[in-house]
Amino acid sequence: MSKALIPAMMCLFLVAATLMGAGKNVFDYTLNTIDGQPAPLSAYKGKVVMLVNVASRCGFTPQYTALEAIYEKYKDRGFVIVGIPANNFGAQEPGTNQEIKTFCQSKYNVTFPMMSKVSVKGDDKAPLYQYLTDKSANPNTGGDIQWNFTKFLVGPDGQIIKRFEPKVTPDSPEVTAAIESALASLKR
């Protein structure tokens, strides 16, 4: 093989790798439910999904109330919230999955799906969060998770529509408008 051919082949390899990654979306990932059962996110194809990294001992924990309220308001129209506990920020989610489940149900009456605790940053970052925070795959919404209660709104095709930082409450006009717009796109 000539030395002139090597750069061209490297370029083709990079283009191919980029194209293979370009087809990925949120529905390609599987988490475990809070009870430890596999939960392929593909089960939510055709729905509008909000993924939220949650914690029980955070200043933003009261957002569970608004999360449950918007879930109840929109669930019959094809909306689902997926709570994903993480202990990456200030050790604010130290409990076991069972303790987290009990807390969410008893304190906030959470009925939306809750997943097992994962890592959303660092060397042990869950594959879903590797994808969500990947700036090359998601230039408008990628970037490191800064704190608990970061919200990703995902369309029925598994593509990320919008990212909301923790200070933006789930029931804010900005969030509800984005949810309603995404729900309006659903074919009913």
Catalytic residues: 58
Q: Which amino acid is at 188?
A: R
The three-class DSSP label of residue 68 is: helix
Which residues touch 55 (CB under 8 Å, ≥6 apart)?
Answer: 61, 85, 86, 87, 89, 92, 93, 148, 149
Q: Are the CB atoms for 166 and 147 separated by under 8 Å?
A: yes
Helix (H) or strand (E) holding 54: strand 48-54
In whole angstroms, what is the distance from residue 107 CA to residue 105 CA? 6
Between the CA of residue 81 and those of 14, 16, 73, what are the distances in Å? 35, 34, 11
DSSP code per residue over 159-188: -EEEEE-TTS-TTSHHHHHHHHHHHHTS--
